[in-house]
Amino acid sequence: MPNHTADLPIIATDAAAQGRGRLRSGRPPRPGSWSELFSPGHLPAALVLAGGVALYATNVYVTAALLPSAVDEFGGAQYFAWAATVFLTASVISSMLVTRTVARSGAARAYVGAFAVFALGTLINMLAPSMELLLVGRTVQGLGGGLLAGLGYAVIRTALPERLWTRAAGLVSAMWGVGNLLGPALGGLFAQIGLWRGAFATMALLALVLAWVSRNAVPGGAEQTGEVPSVPVLSLALLASTAAAFSVASVLPRGASTVACLAAAVLLLFAFVLRERFGATTVLPKLTYRRGNALKWVYLALGLLSAGAMTEAFIPLFGQELAGLPPLLAGFLGASLSVGWTAAQLCSVNIESQRGRNAVMLLGPAILAAGLFGYAALVTPEAGAWLVVAWAAVLFAAGSGIGMAFPHLSVAAMRSTDDPVEGGKAAAGVSTTQLIANAVSSSVVGMLVVAGGPTAAGSAQTMAVGIGIVAVLGAACALQAIRGRATR
């Protein structure tokens, strides 16, 4: 099989290449237009695909903004950090069941169920009289949210023609940036007027509306792919435990307990990979673990690219401590990364040439790294207005790196096989990879911030340089994905 490295198109396979576990270069169809994606025939599907991910992403930041008000009302400050941990762990678990849910029930029923479960958890949060019950609601929300996040990528293959996959992937992925912008604003607004429960009511209503729309917007019947594979219980348990261990490590007091928790997480992740490689049923496609197949590099590039977004949680804090910004302006500074992510993503999907697509998959992580290194270089105590503007510019550039590469890497995963069952796993694996990466990288970011102390400037620089190095590794993985080679 020829080895195209100079101008390798987005990854695809044929039956023979799949059987050998090798990827071939295949020219994808000329992409459709935005007007076609938003035409009456495709708009309902696009709304549901994007709306589910937007609801998930917005919810993360809405809840973070509302929790202080909830704690003021009924206490439970000791459980504050667990609100994110239980949500993320539940999300990872349900995201790994996306393929089987669609195969058994069809995309429409899967979406209706996911929106309904999410709405139920949100209503529990709205009515919660205590932090303990709010944690129950967050867990239920996570179960529905993980399905929504995974369905947003998995259903693209069946809900839309292939020529629209790249634009749809860009739209869905852009919703993470939109959620990062909308969530704090919505949560802050309701908290400011003293109606924090109203934010949950609004989100529950949106979920129910989208559940109604999804009944006819996406394919209704269960996929005819033969016998539905059994659930890989051990793999699910290992990966969920890995996510939980990394999440717990991020909330433990720094010290021996953190090191022990991280060591346990790494061992659990290693056990998951071994189980996946040799197990009869798997979470990720079998071809992920085949020698010579590039899908593993696609997933690694996506995961390492996602880590860059986790720095956004600390940027507003550094803006307040280093430049004396008020909370609102500090929030806008933190949003610079999301704005860059969203803007670049919606532009990147217009690239039609194979060489151009390969270039942005490689340049995206590199630009993310350059932006973070630039931020680290510009950090200084008592920063003035112009330096804050420079921070915003380099953070915008860093976010642009994520946005330009993410949709093309996502579609590379979707096109990694023509087998419908494995293809569904490959598409759903994009979301699972992202959620796991968020759990791991949020813990890593937290530890980098602590390691850079005791000054805010040292913490900001250590965080930016550390995650910048992670982004460089992402560029290396993207290069391997483009070359279509695995470690031999």
Q: What is the pLDDT of residues 271-280, one digit of tens each?
A: 988 888 887 7
Taking residues 44-53, report their average pLDDT: 91
Taking residues 125-139, report their average pLDDT: 92
Taking residues 159-163, report their average pLDDT: 86
Whether the pLDDT of residue 404 is over 80: the answer is: yes
Long-range contacts of 386-391 (CB under 8 A, 24+ apart): 387/323, 388/319, 388/323, 388/325, 388/333, 391/319, 391/333, 391/336
Mean pLDDT value across the chain: 81
- List, in order, residues 6 or more apart from 7 with CB less than 8 Å away: 354, 355, 358
Taking residues 420-433, report their average pLDDT: 76
* Residue 140: predicted pLDDT: 95
The tokens for 297 are 């590099």
Share of the chain above pLDDT 70, in %: 89
Whether the pLDDT of residue 8 is over 60: the answer is: no
CA 481/CA 360 separation, integer angstroms: 13
CA 235/CA 284 separation, integer angstroms: 10
CA 328/CA 319 separation, integer angstroms: 10
Closest CA to 486 of 305, 273, 290: 290
Whether the pLDDT of residue 98 is over 80: the answer is: yes
Which tens digits make up the pLDDT trace of 179-190?
Answer: 877 887 787 788
Helices 385-414 and 354-378 sit at what angle, rounded to 10 degrees? 150
* Residue 279: predicted pLDDT: 79
Which tens digits make up the pLDDT trace of 315-335?
Answer: 877 887 888 877 667 777 877
CA 298/CA 287 separation, integer angstroms: 12
pTM, 2 dp:
0.73
| 82 confidence band (pLDDT: 50, 70, 90) | confident
Long-range contacts of 32-38 (CB under 8 A, 24+ apart): 32/161, 32/163, 32/164, 32/167, 33/167, 34/167, 36/164, 37/160, 37/164, 37/167, 37/168, 37/171
* Residue 5: predicted pLDDT: 31
CA 461/CA 456 separation, integer angstroms: 9
Q: Among 58-72, 138-152, 200-214, which stretch is predicted with the lowest mean pLDDT?
A: 58-72
